Amino acid sequence: MEDRSAVRMDKVTKRFGSVVANDKVSMNINYGEILCILGENGSGKTTLMNMLAGIYYPDEGYFYVNGREVTIKSPHDALELGIGMVHQHFKLIDVFTAAENIILGLKGESRTYDLKAVNQRVREITAQYGFDLDPEQKVYEMSVAQKQTLEIIKILYRGANILILDEPTAVLTPQETEKLFNVLRAMRTDGKAIVLITHKLNEVLEISDRVTILRKGQYISTIPTPVANEQILTEAMVGEKVTLDIDRPMPVNPVKRLEVHHLSVEGTDKPLAVDDVSFDVYGGEILGIAGISGCGQKELLEAIAGLQEVKEGSSVIFHAPDGTERELVGVSVRDIRNLGVHLSFVPEDRLGMGLVASMGMTENMMLKEYDRGRSPFLDRTESLKVAGDVMRELDVATPSLDTPVSKLSGGNVQKVLVGREIAAEPIILMTAYAVRGLDINKSYTIYNLLTEQKQKGVAVIYVGEDLDVLLALCDRILVLCGGRANGILDARTVTKEEVGRRMTNLEKEAAA
């Protein structure tokens, strides 16, 4: 029988202080296959592959490549063995062309390298596997998908036969994801060994041949994809039965709570981060906001919350339950609250903007109400109760309510922030990536909490990365493309492909 083994790991262990990131992991990677590494946040997926790619060095255990025991101390060692990794954060120089990035730092390349020959070789690779890339294009002119393509071609150019991709679809539209999968299938046919680190179950089932499950740093099992389904994979990841249904009741008597007119916000690296965006938000519904990362989602929510200066002509009108209307543009965050606008905001930057890292849960709960007391002394009673309720309901893992939140894991920090904002009983609740860093069970807890808020008549705005969740949770979806609104869609009837087209502006181009 033909030996297809590319990599074998034997009892590989990695520790960071007292934390065991990988605990005696043994597994195989084969040529001519796509292997998905699946696990929840903190399960050790990326750490394990970083060791194979030479970023980290294992504390214990052995690596075998092509049947031979090897020592991998650096990314250069890994490439010498034919191993290349594409990380979530690209390592490219914006002012260089694709070809110049590909050969940058290559051993043996001189100052007088033949760019014409490099361009030709890059074109041969793109033709062989179906990539879409111009080797002479500058990186700053590229889309996110093109930059990812460049990173893959870069390691292929350097001779990699074992490719590791860390969350490769996190920044891609459905159409871009399908293009990537077609390329990966072509590379599999060519005999490459491909490893995908991911958490998206539907993509795992679509693209992989086998699925290796990690849980809390330990190897659980490897499952042939043809016999797997979402329930089997989820229960293997979590270690218990999980309900994967998102309840989405129809809005009942929706009431307009927010009118956004011609909202524009200046960007740091482009003229406008938000460009003339208009939409309405209703109490009793969840409005989703979809878009490629960096398309203005952050600035849009911060502008509504009074945290961003807006351009002249922008308007944000709040419709109060008593029927009065209040313009929020030009009003400070504190004055917005004093006007009776009960607005809660879960920002993307949870420790930088949402919480005070040096404070415990109780003190962070007090931040919402500290200036409303009738005494010069702060009363911790109510905040202590809220903190305890949030800890119990969201299962926050903390030594005590006074432990600084900076000492908690990212997922637990997110629970504290979301729990505090919901406990404030808002009229409008805005969330940016509310389940980032949470495990599957707690993610569904948050989805249910948002639905409960909707049923209480709260106007919920949900910014998320996962289109499948947006389509299952939300009632309407506002699509942002390059900071501009590219349609408001009915989440119950629209397809994921149409949302993806609008995320890349193809919908407007087709109509032009």
Q: Work out the angle at residue 90's Cα, subtended by the Cα atoms of residues 89 and 92, and round it to the nearest 5 degrees.
A: 145
At 455 the pLDDT is 96
Q: How many residues does the chain have?
A: 512
What's the pLDDT band for 88 if we cut at 50, 70, 90? confident
- Residue 126, both tokens: 């793109």
Q: Going by CATH, does the domain composed of 255-342+427-511 fall within 3.40.50.140?
A: no
Q: What is the DSSP letter of 366?
A: H
C-alpha Rg value of the chain to the nearest Å? 25
Tens digits of residue pLDDT in 237-249: 988 877 778 889 9
In angstroms, the CA 394 to CA 128 distance is 50
φ, ψ of residue 471 to 5 degrees: the values are -70, -25
Asked if 446 and 467 touch (Cβ cutoff 8 Å), the reply is no
At 379 the pLDDT is 58
Tens digits of residue pLDDT in 362-401: 999 988 765 554 444 455 688 899 999 999 988 888 889 9
Fold match, 5-238 / 255-342+427-511: yes
Phi/psi region, residue 406 (left: phi>0; alpha: psi -120 to 50; beta: rest), is alpha
At 339 the pLDDT is 75
Average pLDDT, the chain: 89
- Residue 250, both tokens: 């129809």
% of the chain surpassing 90 pLDDT: 60
Query: The domain 5-238 belongs to what CATH superfamily?
Result: P-loop containing nucleotide triphosphate hydrolases (3.40.50.300)
Range ranked top by mean pLDDT from 108-112, 348-352, 427-431, 439-443: 427-431
Half-sphere exposure for 446 (CA within 13 Å, toward CB) = 30
Question: Which one, of 232, 237, 196, lies nearest residue 218 by Cα?
Answer: 237
Q: What is the mean pLDDT of residues 150-159?
A: 92
Task: Give helix 144-157 / helix 115-129 axis angle, nearest 10°.
Answer: 110
pLDDT of 76 over the 70 cut: yes
At 269 the pLDDT is 66
Structural domain boundaries of the chain?
5-238, 255-342+427-511, 360-424
- Residue 58, both tokens: 């294992």
Amino acid in the structure at residue 85? M
Q: What is the mean pLDDT of residues 339-367?
A: 87
At 369 the pLDDT is 64
% of the chain surpassing 70 pLDDT: 94
Three-state SS string over 151-191 comes to: HHHHHHHCCCCEEEEECCCCCCCHHHHHHHHHHHHHHHHCC
CA-based end-to-end distance of the chain = 57
At 370 the pLDDT is 52
pLDDT of 8 over the 80 cut: yes
- Residue 459, both tokens: 């106007």
Residue 95, Cβ density class (10 Å: 0-12 exposed, 13-18 middle, ≥19 buried): exposed
Asked if 296 and 264 touch (Cβ cutoff 8 Å), the reply is no
Tens digits of residue pLDDT in 258-269: 999 999 998 776
Tens digits of residue pLDDT in 270-318: 688 999 999 999 999 999 999 988 889 999 999 999 888 999 999 999 9
Tens digits of residue pLDDT in 165-190: 998 887 788 888 899 999 999 999 99
Cα 467 versus chain centre, distance: 11
In angstroms, the CA 267 to CA 370 distance is 33
What is the value of pTM for the model shown? 0.80
Contacts 24+ apart (CB under 8 A), 69-78: 76/107, 78/52, 78/53, 78/54
At 2 the pLDDT is 59
